[in-house]
Every structure is written in structure tokens, then in C-alpha cells.
Amino acid sequence: MSSAQGEIAHFHSDRDVDLRLTDRAVRRFAKDLQDSGAIRIVPGSHWVTLRLDAASDVDLLLTLVSVALKAQQAWPDPVERQPTGCNDQRGAGFVKADLGRI
């Protein structure tokens, strides 16, 4: 899925999805999502990775797609970091990240 500002979401497998959010959106939701086994946040990345194992994970994906679309409307990200590849391209895979640094 893409917008005029670039890619918003893509699948790495049948179950793993990457969503691109702004730094502000990642910070806003990181605390709420840190206990979810379905979410991976990599510090410094615009991308959030979701693993779809249950129906509730799909509901979460739909909610975060909505957040991503709204974040894209406010692009550019106020922090103005250089765009990077998704979490999979950064070698992060689906490994639990340390959210204490976000």
C-alpha cells in the first residue's frame, strides 16, 4: 500500500506486515503496544512490524493502517530523520525490541 509520500505497508510473509509511521506516531503508541506479542518496534525506525496470529491482530493492523494513513497526511515527519529501509531490511526481523529507548 502506498500514498503520494511513499510506501505505507507491505507483507514479508503471510503473517508479517510492516507499517511505516511517523516518529511521533511510534512514540505515541509504543507504551500502549509494548506488551503486545504481535508488535515489534525497532528504535530509530519509521516501521512497525506486526505478526498476524489471531483475529485481534488483524483488528490491530486495521487500526494501525488508519494511524499510518493519517500520519502520511501530516508528512514530513517533524523529526526529519532520513528514511530507512523497513525493519526486515535492517536485519531486525521479528525480534522483541527494547522499547525503553523510545
Residue pLDDT, tens place only, 2-19: 766 678 889 988 889 998
pLDDT of residue 62: 92
Per-residue pLDDT, averaged over 60-79, amounts to 77
pLDDT of residue 52: 92
Say yes or no to pLDDT of 38 above 60.
Answer: yes
* pLDDT band, residue 74 (cuts 50/70/90): low
**85 phi and psi, to 5 degrees?**
-65, 165
Q: Which of 59, 62, 54, 49 is nearest to 88 (CA)?
A: 49
pLDDT of residue 99: 44
Say yes or no to pLDDT of 92 above 60.
Answer: no
Chain-wide mean pLDDT for the chain? 75
Per-residue pLDDT, averaged over 38-42, amounts to 82
CA 37 to chain centre: 14
CA 78 to chain centre: 17
pTM for this predicted structure: 0.70
Say yes or no to pLDDT of 98 above 50.
Answer: no
